[in-house]
Chain A
Amino acid sequence: MTSPSSNARRVFLQKLLAGSAAAGLFMVYRHPVVAALTGDDGDKAPDHDFAFVVDINRCIGCGQCVRACNVENNVPEGQFRTWIERYVVTPSGVHIDSPQGGMNGFDEVDESLAEEALNTFFVPKLCNHCAEAPCIQVCPVGATYRSPEGFVLVDSEHCIGCSYCVQACPYGVRFINHEKRIADKCTWCYHRVSKGKLPACVTVCPTQARLFGDLNDPNSAVAKVRQADNWDVLKPEAHTESMCLYLGLQRVVV
């Protein structure tokens, strides 16, 4: 991890960069700081630090999570806040599919493919709620942000629908909602978690392939996964500090 001094240097560098960007604009002035709502007053660490765990070894590809997400969040047809991919790795290459995002489950692959398969599994995908989210960096109006508890969210009243965030996301989890014409994506069911519930997909997963919880709570399942340190993240080379920890992630998965 970073030492305090290198952290201070990084903060300084960030301020320097932000400062020169601000100087480039000929009139940027500071708006009075509004007191933050939760756990964000000054130096005090936020109360929660949420994370998501996806256990590929447990996923059976039933599609419950995708259906639940669509119902819970009124996701337009043909767009997905979460989806399931099926990987079939063979000696001649890798076969990936996700019919309708896996919403209606999967039919068996061709017999020849099944026979050839060296390794095959399902991979649920969703927003990684990155700590260093490229989508937040590129949003020109501050309509997407990371809440103090670690939710990367979209301000549906402020978003201008430019789709820059869609381009910047390395994981393809963002889309422009066809009905609302604004950026949309998984919120880890912020509305449910704020009422003490679990995200819809976690609630319905029959095999506990999806876990959600607070890293600040050492007894939570996600904190234990993080502690065990046998997890991986998608596209580590993107350095997004993904907060979706994958268990059993195979090399071929992108």
Chain B
Amino acid sequence: MNISPRSHIYRLIVLLVIVVVGFVAVRGLAIPSSWDSENFYRLDSLEELKLQPMHLGGNESCGGASCHDQERVAKHKTQLATVGRGSHKGLACENCHGPLSAHVSDDKKVASAVIDRENKLCLNCHAQLVSRPKDFPQFDTEANGHWYFDVEITKPCLDCHSPHNPRQMAAKKDKSKKQPKATSEQTSTNGEVQL
């Protein structure tokens, strides 16, 4: 038998070609079907990301055409109107009352919204910090008539201030209830968008 001195090399090459072809075939099958080779990502992942559930509804999910602007919850409607006038009108309801998802699920109320009357909630924004912008209202025993009533930081803020319209003192709160006028302009700060 006269065997070529290169026959083992040819066999090795065949083996390597099989490996390479096998790899290319497996790779062809393994690339995700929606792969965009131009921009190099899986297009389906955009759709998957859109499916992430939302927890915060934004104020438009509270007032506006939503639950709390309806007659059956007249009290809430009044309070929305109060917020709409006061210095807290830019705030998100969920900042104090908890995320929408903990309150409503599948258009059904699952739990009452949080009502937190602790000073800590107010001081979270209004405690005096040297790093806060100077024009931002911060608790001060010397200012805003606090000195007159000897108000200490331990005294409940809500004894005097309405959380929905803090410049309006609690004593006057009843009067404000009599003039409900829904102006929920605090839905969103910027234009909404559709992707």
The answer to A–B direct touch (Cβ < 8 A) is yes
Interface set of A (CB-CB < 8 Å, partner B): 27, 29-34, 36-38, 40, 48, 50, 57-64, 68, 71-73, 86-88, 105-106, 108-109, 114, 117, 120-122, 142-145, 147, 149, 153, 155-158, 187, 190-198, 200, 202-204, 206-208, 211-214, 217, 219-222
B131 and A217: CB pair below 8 A?
no
B189 beta carbon closer than 8 Å to chain A? yes
Q: Is the C-beta of B54 less than 8 angstroms from some C-beta in chain A?
A: yes
Interface residues of B, dominant DSSP: loop
Minimum CB–CB distance for B12 against chain A, Å: 17
Please name all residues of chain B whose beta carbon is closer than 8 Å to the beta carbon of A219 when the two chains form the complex.
191
Q: Report how far A120 CA is from B130 CA in the complex, Å.
A: 7
Question: Given A145-B41, A203-B56, 11 other A-B contacts at CB below 8 A?
Answer: A27-B24, A48-B195, A64-B92, A71-B56, A144-B41, A158-B41, A190-B50, A198-B188, A203-B94, A206-B125, A222-B190
A87 vs B132: C-alpha distance when bound (angstroms): 11
A191 in contact with B49 given A158-B32, A211-B190 (CB within 8 Å): yes
Contact A193 B56 (CB under 8 A): no
- Indicate if the CB atoms of B51 and A191 lie closer than 8 Å: yes
In the complex, the answer to whether B194 meets A196 with C-beta atoms within 8 Å is yes
| Subset of 29 A-B contacts with CB under 8 Å | A27-B20, A31-B31, A33-B36, A34-B33, A34-B34, A36-B43, A48-B193, A48-B195, A50-B193, A57-B133, A59-B133, A68-B99, A73-B52, A86-B131, A108-B127, A109-B131, A121-B131, A122-B132, A142-B42, A156-B45, A157-B42, A187-B49, A191-B51, A192-B54, A193-B193, A203-B58, A203-B59, A204-B92, A207-B90
Closest to A29 in B: B24
Q: Is the CB of B133 within 8 A of A34?
A: no
A86 to B: closest C-beta gap in Å: 5
Known: A33-B37, A34-B34. A149 touches B195 (CB 8 A): yes
Question: Shortest distance in angstroms between A221's beta carbon and chain B's nearest beta carbon?
Answer: 5
Contact assessment for A38 and B129 in the assembled complex, using a CB-CB cutoff below 8 Å:
no
B189 near A122 with CB under 8 A, answer: no
A34-B55 contact in complex given A61-B131, A61-B132, A105-B124, C-beta closer than 8 Å: no
- With a cutoff of 8 Å between Cβ atoms, the chain A residues found around residue B52 in the complex are 73, 190-191
- Which B residues contact A (CB, under 8 angstroms)? 20, 23-24, 31-43, 45-56, 58-59, 90-92, 94-95, 99, 124-125, 127-133, 136, 188-195
Complex partner residue of A60 from B48, B132, B190, CB under 8 angstroms? B132
**Which A residues lie within 8 Å of B46 (CB)?**
37-38, 147, 153, 190
How distant is the Cα of A208 from the Cα of B136 in the complex, in angstroms? 13
A158 vs B46: C-alpha distance in the bound complex, in angstroms? 12
Contact partner of A198 among B31, B58, B94, B132, CB < 8 A?
Answer: B58
Whether A142 contacts B190 in the complex (CB less than 8 A), given A63-B124, A72-B56, comes out as: no
Q: How far is the CA of A187 from the CA of B91 in the complex (A)?
A: 23
Bound-state Cα–Cα, A198 to B190, Å: 8
Residue of A nearest to B188 (CB): A198
* B195-A145 in contact (CB<8A): no
> Measured between C-beta atoms, what is the minimum distance from A47 to chain B in Å?
8
